[in-house]
Structure 1
Amino acid sequence: MTTYSAVRTTGIYCRPGCGAKPKAENVRTFEQPAAAEAAGYRACLRCRPYRVAGTVPDEAPEIVCRAVQLIIGGFLDDGNEDALGARLGVSARHLRRMFHDHLGVTPDQFARSRRAHFARRMLDDSDLSIADVAFAAGFGSLRQFNRAMRDIFRATPKELRARRRRDDRLAADGGLVLRLPFTAPYDWPAMVTLLGRGAIPGVESVVDGHYRRTIMLDGAPGMIEIGPGGDDHLLVRAHLPHWEGVIHVVSRIAGLVGVDLDPVVARTELATDAVLGPLVTRRPGVRISGVWTPFEVAVGIAVGPARAGELAARYGVPVPGLDHGLTHVFPSADVLAETGEPVAELAKAMAAGEEPRFADASAREHFALRLGARDAFPATDPAIRDAVGDADPERWRPWRSLATVHLLLSG
Structure 2
Amino acid sequence: MTTFSAVITTGIYCRPGCGARPNAENVRTFELAAAAEAAGFRACLRCRPYRIAGDLPWDAPELVCQAVQLIIAGELDIGSEADLGARLGLSARHLRRLFHEHLGLTPDQLARSRRAHFARRLLDDTDLTIADIAFASGFGSLRQFNRAMQEVFRDSPQLLRQRRRKADRLVADGGLTMRLPHVSGYDWPQAVKTLATRAIPGVESVEDGVYRRTITLDGGPGLLEIRDGGSDHLLLQAHLPYWEGLIHVVDRVRLMLGLDGTAPRAWAPFEAGVADLLRRDGGDTRARMGELVRAHGPARPGLGHGLTHAFPDAETLAAAADPVIGAFAKAVAAGDIHLND
The residue type equivalent to 1:145 in the other structure is: F
Indicate the SS of the match to 2:320.
coil
The answer to whether structure 1 residue 182 and structure 2 residue 173 are counterparts is: no
The answer to whether structure 1 residue 301 and structure 2 residue 282 are counterparts is: no
TM, length-normalised to structure 2: 0.95
Contact 1:198–1:300 (8 Å) recurs in 2: no
TM, length-normalised to structure 1: 0.79
RMSD: 1.6
After superposition, where does 1:51-130 map in structure 2 within 5 Å? 51-130=51-130
Q: Residue 332 of structure 2: which of 331, 350, 354 is its match?
A: 350
The residue type equivalent to 1:151 in the other structure is: E
Q: Deviations over 1:231-280 (max 9, x none)?
A: 110000000000011011000000010012x2xxxxxxxxxxxxxxxxxx
The answer to whether structure 1 residue 227 and structure 2 residue 227 are counterparts is: yes
After superposition, where does 1:230-249 map in structure 2 within 5 Å? 230-249=230-249
Corresponding position of 1:292: 267
Q: Deviations over 1:200-237 (max 9, x none)?
A: 10011111111111111011110101110011100000
User: For the residues of structure 2 that align with 1:247 and 1:181, how far apart are their CA atoms?
Assistant: 14
User: For the residues of structure 2 that align with 1:240 and 1:196, how far apart are their CA atoms?
Assistant: 23
Corresponding position of 1:250: 250
Q: Which runs of 4 or more aligned residues in structure 1 lie more than 6 Å from their structure 2 counterparts after TM superposition?
A: none
User: For the residues of structure 1 that align with 2:93 and 2:258, how far apart are their CA atoms?
Assistant: 30
* Alpha-carbon shift at residue 355 of structure 1 (Å): 5.5
* Alpha-carbon shift at residue 354 of structure 1 (Å): 5.2
* Alpha-carbon shift at residue 121 of structure 1 (Å): 0.3
The residue type equivalent to 1:35 in the other structure is: A
Corresponding position of 1:142: 142
* Alpha-carbon shift at residue 55 of structure 1 (Å): 1.9
- Give aligned-pair identity as a percent: 65
Unaligned 5+ runs, structure 1: 263-286, 357-367, 373-411
Q: Deviations over 1:5-47 (max 9, x none)?
A: 0000000000000000001100000011111001100000000
* Alpha-carbon shift at residue 289 of structure 1 (Å): 1.0
* Alpha-carbon shift at residue 105 of structure 1 (Å): 1.1
User: For the residues of structure 2 that align with 1:116 and 1:216, how far apart are their CA atoms?
Assistant: 26
User: For the residues of structure 2 that align with 1:320 and 1:58, how far apart are their CA atoms?
Assistant: 45
User: For the residues of structure 2 that align with 1:157 and 1:126, how far apart are their CA atoms?
Assistant: 13
The residue type equivalent to 1:328 in the other structure is: H
Corresponding position of 1:47: 47
User: For the residues of structure 1 that align with 2:93 and 2:319, how far apart are their CA atoms?
Assistant: 43
* Alpha-carbon shift at residue 302 of structure 1 (Å): 2.5
Q: Specify whether residues 321 and 154 from structure 1 end up closer, same or farther in structure 2 by C-alpha distance, changes over 3 A only.
A: same
The residue type equivalent to 1:345 in the other structure is: A
Q: Specify whether residues 127 and 340 from structure 1 end up closer, same or farther in structure 2 by C-alpha distance, changes over 3 A only.
A: closer
Unaligned 5+ runs, structure 2: 279-284
Q: Residue 331 of structure 1: which of 306, 312, 321 is its match?
A: 312
User: For the residues of structure 2 that align with 1:243 and 1:34, how far apart are their CA atoms?
Assistant: 25
